[in-house]
Structure 1
Amino acid sequence: MKNFYTLVLTFFVVCNLQSQAIYKTIDSERLGATRELKIQLPRNYNPDEKRTYPLIVVLDGDYLFEPVAGNIDYQSYWEDIPDCIVVGINQADTRPEDLFYDDENYFPKDSGAQFYEFIVAELLPYIEKNYKASNFRIIFGHDLSANFINYYLFKDEPIFRAYIAFSPEFAPEMISRLQQRLSILTEQTFYYMATADADIKALRASTLKADSLISAIQNEKLLYKFDDFKDANHYALVGRGIPKALNEIFGLFKPINAKEYKEKLIPFEGSPYDYLIKKYEDIEHFYGFEKELIENDIRAIAAASNKKDDIDSLEKLAKLVKKKFPDSMLGAYYLGMYYEKEGNFKKALLQYKSGLLLQPSQFIDKEIILEKMYDAEEALND
């Protein structure tokens, strides 16, 4: 167990070497006080670019920010999820006041209502004014704060698209209210909830009750996922739940893997190239930002085009790659592949030769280009 925690600590230290948190203190009229924030921007963040990033708000930022930010940094590095802006709100000294709700109607009251408004009217505008945040927003909470995040669902137009609730300590009536609200959502919304076998007994019981009700909801706009972890307590379940939640939220964004290739890409009625365009259009429509074309998906579409003997799809892909990556070997490689498929080995050879002067990619380097050149020359001499 000691080695496990050492490994986890090392992981977050390495992540933080690459993505240092920015510490900000902002004045809040709603709270009548200052509030400390932790902000992590994506690697290679450029404020002058038009690109925007999903915004992740983390309550209980004193202890929850680092594991969330570390997971975001790690998974986005491998292109499994998009780069995100992560904002943690420190609550160590104000937690009971921030999360306070009325003992009659069980909605935020007094200091709790002020904290609610602080996030809506001050925090989000502050982040959007100073950073390139998109409208795709996610909020994290743990026990009391996992209950609090639900209040944002009750707005006529909820300001968050995804809610991650770890071992929620539900206010009275919240479970039934949550069931009713999730049943009538009109915009696609993610809701993730988790408990564990060694969770606090009362919280585990109420979470399991909530799951039984939410999982029965028939609403295609609700994208719900629940985890009941084994061999985890109230705190360890958070570390296991963060990557699971992110995987669910950004499932559409993920690179084409073997399962998607076999079950969706190959059976797709249109061409592989059409599948690629539709996938990226769906990502932009759903998340509100454009995904940059990645080499993993290029390889998958090329493989599907070859498997289906779809030369037109391969040609369109090659031209798209050439346009997107003009200084990379990628364009020359896939145009060469297209010409080989067409039987024009002379043009294929010219493309491969031109690629030697360009920059290697993640999977295509000079040795691979040379090998393709030799194959094309051999075909020309046959």
Structure 2
Amino acid sequence: MISRLASKIAFFAAATALFGASPVDARNAGRSEGSIAHLPALSGDYFALSSEEVGRDYHIYVRLPEGYDENSDYRYPVVYLLDGDSTFPLLAPLHLFMHYDDEIPEAIIVGIAYGGFEPGVNMRHVDFRMVMDDGSPGGAPQFLSMLENELLPTIDREFRTDPLRRIIVGQSRGGSAVLQAAWLKPDLFWGHVASNPGREPDTRLLFGMDRDPPEKVRSGYVIVASGSRDRDYLRGTALEWRDQIAARDDLPWDTRFIDIEGGTHAADLGTAYRAALRMLFLQAETESTDLTD
């Protein structure tokens, strides 16, 4: 009993030290038993972001590429994961395996987490919506301002990033938030990956389906992945997006649709991520080669 209590005290002391650390110092914090620092596929950094734009705190987890300290002249793509509470521990190690097997570039992986799933802590139902169920404004504009004015500048300042290769990834309602970012803040990200995006009352399924595209935006990609076994109302509108949006030639992005045969709503996020990142990086490599030929 005493040893169990001592272990709990040590764990919470380590967590306190880790969560209170700045981006510069966090890699040297939380090295005791139970720390995430002992999981090399997730190792990197942590800091708490107190957002003035939103008025709430976020937990920001950063996975640094293998060889980051040794390759001091290299600047890395950055992948921002919405719903980082669950997507970061899933996709950060997957990206490492994709680097091994698919030969895609290593990347800095950033998980934007709330710190829990319980209501009042996890505010994705506000941050990812333009309009709430009762018609009142959602928190999406403030959340996007947090990304633009607070988080992205911090990551670019503290780490060796390539700002021209930023990618944002979201699942379900986070997927609709990815598409909001493409339409409302089109220059923030190079790649937009929406996996089984959620349906909202004001935008049917995907933000921008019935809207004029932004006039000024650097070239990039918008990718929607849809599982064939996703919920019927989401799958149907995703296919409508494939036929109506991905087929348009007046959009500033290269729009792609990924059909995941047998894929369900949440459990195939890793499959969607792998397919989309391969599409992004292999396509970009092909285009770069074509330009130099």
Same fold per superposition (TM over 0.5): yes
CA distance in 1, matches of 2:99, 2:148: 27
Q: Is the alpha carbon distance of 1:181 and 1:149 closer, same or farther for their aligned partners in structure 2, counting shifts above 3 Å?
A: farther
Q: CA deviation at 1:51?
A: 2.0
Among 86, 94, 97, which residue is 1:71 paired with? 94
Alignment-derived partner of residue 162 in structure 2: 134
Q: Is the alpha carbon distance of 1:69 and 1:182 closer, same or farther for their aligned partners in structure 2, counting shifts above 3 Å?
A: farther
How does the TM-score come out when normalised to structure 1? Answer: 0.57
What is the letter of the counterpart of residue 246 of structure 1? L
Equivalences for residues 213-362 of structure 1 within 5 A? 213-219=244-250, 222-252=253-283, 279=289
CA distance in 2, matches of 1:155, 1:44: 35
What is the letter of the counterpart of residue 55 of structure 2? G
* Bigger relative contact order, structure 1 or 2 (CA pairs below 8 A, ≥6 apart): 2
Q: Deviations over 1:284-312 (max 9, x none)?
A: xxxxxxxxxxxxxxxxxxxxxxxxxxxxx
Q: CA deviation at 1:179?
A: 6.2
CA distance in 1, matches of 2:264, 2:187: 31
Alignment-derived partner of residue 62 in structure 1: 85
Query: Do the aligned partners of 2:81 and 2:88 also contact (CA within 8 Å) in 1?
Result: yes
CA distance in 2, matches of 1:118, 1:183: 21
Q: CA deviation at 1:44?
A: 1.0
Alignment of 1:80 onto 2:91: no
Alignment of 1:114 onto 2:139: no
How many residue pairs were aligned? 247
Alignment-derived partner of residue 90 in structure 1: 113
Q: Is the alpha carbon distance of 1:225 and 1:112 closer, same or farther for their aligned partners in structure 2, counting shifts above 3 Å?
A: closer
Query: Do the aligned partners of 1:19 and 1:73 also contact (CA within 8 Å) in 2?
Result: no
Query: Do the aligned partners of 2:175 and 2:198 also contact (CA within 8 Å) in 1?
Result: yes
Alignment-derived partner of residue 330 in structure 1: none
Structure 1 runs (4+) deviating above 4 angstroms are 179-186
CA distance in 2, matches of 1:72, 1:50: 21
Among 26, 33, 41, which residue is 2:49 paired with? 26
CA distance in 1, matches of 2:214, 2:127: 28
- The alignment partner of 1:69 has SS state of helix
Alignment-derived partner of residue 60 in structure 2: 37
Q: CA deviation at 1:150?
A: 1.7
Alignment-derived partner of residue 358 in structure 1: none
Alignment-derived partner of residue 163 in structure 1: 192
Q: CA deviation at 1:194?
A: 1.4
CA distance in 2, matches of 1:19, 1:281: 36
What is the letter of the counterpart of residue 203 of structure 2? E
- The alignment partner of 1:140 has SS state of strand
Q: Deviations over 1:62-88 (max 9, x none)?
A: 111123212221222357111211101
Q: Deviations over 1:105-156 (max 9, x none)?
A: x8x9453332221111111011111111111110001111111112222347
Equivalences for residues 186-205 of structure 1 within 5 A? 187-205=218-236
CA distance in 1, matches of 2:85, 2:185: 30
Alignment-derived partner of residue 29 in structure 2: none
Alignment-derived partner of residue 14 in structure 2: none
What is the letter of the counterpart of residue 212 of structure 1? D
Unaligned runs of 5+ in 1: 1-12, 255-259, 265-277, 283-382
What is the letter of the counterpart of residue 86 of structure 1? I
- The alignment partner of 1:56 has SS state of strand
Alignment of 1:50 onto 2:73: yes
Q: CA deviation at 1:19?
A: 4.3
Alignment-derived partner of residue 173 in structure 1: 203
| Range that drifts further, 30-39 or 174-183 | 174-183
Computing the radius of gyration from Cα coordinates, the structure with the larger value is: 1
- The alignment partner of 1:231 has SS state of coil
Q: CA deviation at 1:186?
A: 5.2
What is the letter of the counterpart of residue 257 of structure 2? F
CA distance in 2, matches of 1:236, 1:130: 33
Q: Deviations over 1:20-39 (max 9, x none)?
A: 25332122212223210111
Q: Is the alpha carbon distance of 1:168 and 1:229 closer, same or farther for their aligned partners in structure 2, counting shifts above 3 Å?
A: same
| Range that drifts further, 184-193 or 37-46 | 184-193
CA distance in 1, matches of 2:242, 2:266: 19
- The alignment partner of 1:236 has SS state of coil
Query: Do the aligned partners of 1:82 and 1:253 also contact (CA within 8 Å) in 2?
Result: no
Query: Do the aligned partners of 2:49 and 2:59 also contact (CA within 8 Å) in 1?
Result: yes
**What's the RMSD between the two structures over aligned residues?**
3.3
- The alignment partner of 2:99 has SS state of helix
More helix by share: 1
CA distance in 1, matches of 2:139, 2:250: 34
Unaligned runs of 5+ in 2: 1-35
- The alignment partner of 1:177 has SS state of coil
CA distance in 1, matches of 2:266, 2:278: 20
